[in-house]
Amino acid sequence: MAPAMAASDPLARQALAQGASASLVGGDEQEKLRQRNEELEKELRESREREAATREELQRTAERLRVTEEAEERLCTQLGELEAEAVLDARAYHARILSLADQLAQARKFHQVASVLSPS
């Protein structure tokens, strides 16, 4: 572990402080502290690797979200255009139905007049 890292990590500081006193205590205690320091360094590396992987995943997720939002906007635009087209079609069909209804009414009137004028 670099000295700067050791200064910011409370456990590493404790290990360093114990390491300083370990020279007085003995080699066995010093070996334990060295192993603990290695474990802490390994945990720190693994933590940083997880953090980097998480950051990359977050960036990928943000990109997928951006693409999804753009697709949603395109779909909403297309839906609006289709709705407008459907309204125009419905109005045209309604006008055609009214026209056919008028033609049918005129044909019935013509048929009634013709049946009254021509005795069978």
Distances from the Cα of 28 to the Cα of 1, 19, 108, angstroms:
21, 11, 115
For tokens 């990359």, the residue is: 56
Report the predicted TM-score, pTM, of the whole model to 2 decimal places: 0.52
Domain count of the fold of the chain: 1
The pLDDT of residue 22: 46
Least confident window among 8-17, 93-102, 110-119:
8-17
User: Contact at 8 Å (CB) between 25 and 61?
Assistant: no
* pLDDT tens readout for residues 49-85: 999 999 999 999 999 999 999 999 999 999 999 999 9
Give residue 19's domain range.
3-117
